[in-house]
Amino acid sequence: MKILSVVGARPQFVKLAAIADAAAQRDDVEHLIVHTGQHYDAAMSDVFFADLRIPAPDVNLAIGSGSHGRQTGAMLAGMDEVLEEHRPDWTLVYGDTNSTLAGTLSAVKMHLKVAHLEAGLRSFNRRMPEEHNRVLTDHAADLLLAPTEVARTHLAAEGLAERTLVTGDVMTDVCLRVAASVEGAEPALPEGIDPTAEFAVATIHRADNTDDPERLRAIIRSLQALEMPLALFAHPRLVAKAKDAGIELSGGAVHVGAPVAYPDLVGAVKQARAVVTDSGGLQKEAYLLGTPCSTVRTETEWVETLEDDWNRLVPDPSELTAAVSRPRPTADRPAHYGDGRAALRSVDALREND
Ligand code: UD1
């Protein structure tokens, strides 16, 4: 059986690591990898393949950045040719990026079966491009691999229950594996932060936070006012938008570093006193690793993380300093995201539905 994975952006490489590993454990599976090229900087792409030991992509469409329509359109054109050549039994798409939507649309129009990994997540925020990508993908796909029971509920409410299977979360597979491998190692932090003392970790990259200069300035100011030092691993979009708006990211508590490799991120989050982010994946990683998280958004797709204040939504930047400094919750963290075997379950679901 031939599975063709379509990936393009950083969080998808993490999910792909789990799937590539699971596919390699099944003799009857041929696994092809198509990289759309949505993320292309070495720190945003190559290091993930190297560190997570993912086989090199069979095809790289090298699409690069652009407006949503231009980027998605270029991927669609590229995918048509790839799918025509390889005719997979399953096209597997991941998460909610423009690469996800392009892979899906191209395949379904060629009457090729599509499975959506991480199906059923909803923010119910129609300002997010990701919300459109995931809703459209779920409705077009043939098999919906849902990470949680909450995701299953969303799909059922949209009439998609029959195509749904709860597998657990594949990012959890990788996070737990990598966390064990970095146990005891000193985290790699930007200059000026003592890794043996208290520190916080932050990433900010959503358009809603980066593209309005006033909002971005307020977020950065609150982070700079923290008492403990904060490692800000800066996405290229954050760096570009801050530069355009004349905002200095470094200063006060904030120490800026480049985006880091996945094992370094996991190592840093594991030892951090607090996490600040607008990323979906990082909220969940903080939860899995037992570090309290403050999420700079009005809502989250990973609602389970909000239980017992492990994750807190902090849409108002002026409340960020206090939220990040709150005490670490003492409550247990139930295993909402599965047992670390979601990828194998997903690959087996494709084999059984071939
Ligand atoms: C994309 C996903 C988002 C995901 C994020 C993870 C969509 C709509 N969004 O957002 O869901 O959370 O990836 O990081 O698909 N850039 C570089 N080098 C790169 C990649 C991007 O410099 O390797 C810069 C470019 O200026 C680009 C900007 O970052 O325009 C945004 O990149 P893009 O891929 O459009 O979206 P992300 O913000 O990364």
Question: 311 and 347 share a domain?
Answer: no
Q: Is 10 in the pocket of ligand 1 (CB under 6 A)?
A: yes
Please tell me the distance between residue 38's alpha carbon and the centre of ligand 1 in angstroms: 7
Structure tokens at 48: 């993930």
230 phi and psi angles, rounded to 5 deg = -130, 130
Please tell me the distance between residue 158's alpha carbon and the centre of ligand 1 in angstroms: 29
Going by alpha carbons, the residue nearest to atom 5 of ligand 1 is 9
For the chain, the three-class secondary structure string (H helix, E strand, C coil) is: CEEEEEECCHHHHHHHHHHHHHHHCCCCCEEEEEECCCCCCHHHCHHHHHHCCCCCCCEECCCCCCCHHHHHHHHHHHHHHHHHHHCCCEEEEECCCHHHHHHHHHHHHCCCCEEEECCCCCCCCCCCHHHHHHHHHHHHCCEEEECCHHHHHHHHHCCCHHHEEECCCHHHHHHHHHHHHCCCCCCCCCCCCCCCCCCEEEECCCHHHHCCHHHHHHHHHHHHCCCCCEEEECCHHHHHHHHHCCCCCCECCEEEECCCCHHHHHHHHHHCCEEEECCHHHHHHHHHHCCCEEECCCCCCCHHHHHHHCEEECCCHHHHHHHHCCCCCCCCCCCCCCCCCHHHHHHHHHHHCC
Question: 104 and 7 share a domain?
Answer: yes
pLDDT at 183: 92
Question: 35 and 104 share a domain?
Answer: yes
Question: 343 and 218 share a domain?
Answer: no
Please tell me the distance between residue 36's alpha carbon and the centre of ligand 1 in angstroms: 12
Q: Is 40 in the pocket of ligand 1 (CB under 6 A)?
A: yes
Question: 149 and 216 share a domain?
Answer: no
Question: 191 and 316 share a domain?
Answer: yes
Question: 107 and 195 share a domain?
Answer: no
The minimum-distance atom of ligand 1 relative to the CA of 66 is 30
Look up the domain containing 20 and give its range: 2-169+338-352
Question: 24 and 158 share a domain?
Answer: yes
The minimum-distance atom of ligand 1 relative to the CA of 98 is 15
The minimum-distance atom of ligand 1 relative to the CA of 280 is 12
Question: 101 and 162 share a domain?
Answer: yes
Consecutive sets of 10 residues in the chain, 354 residues long: mean pLDDT of each?
98 97 98 98 95 97 98 98 98 98 98 98 95 98 98 98 98 95 94 96 97 98 98 97 98 97 96 97 97 98 97 98 96 94 97 92
155 in Cβ contact with 116 (< 8 Å) = no
Question: 196 and 281 share a domain?
Answer: yes
The minimum-distance atom of ligand 1 relative to the CA of 95 is 11
Number of domains in the chain: 2
d(CA 210, CA 124): 20
172 residue type, one letter = T
Does 205 participate in catalysis according to the annotation?
A: yes
Q: Is 39 in the pocket of ligand 1 (CB under 6 A)?
A: yes
Number of Cα atoms under 13 Å in the Cβ half of residue 236: 11
Please tell me the distance between residue 206's alpha carbon and the centre of ligand 1 in angstroms: 9
Question: 130 and 235 share a domain?
Answer: no
Chain length of the chain? 354
147 residue type, one letter = P
pLDDT at 354: 85
Sequence-distant (6+) residues with CB within 8 A of 88 are 2, 3, 4, 32, 112
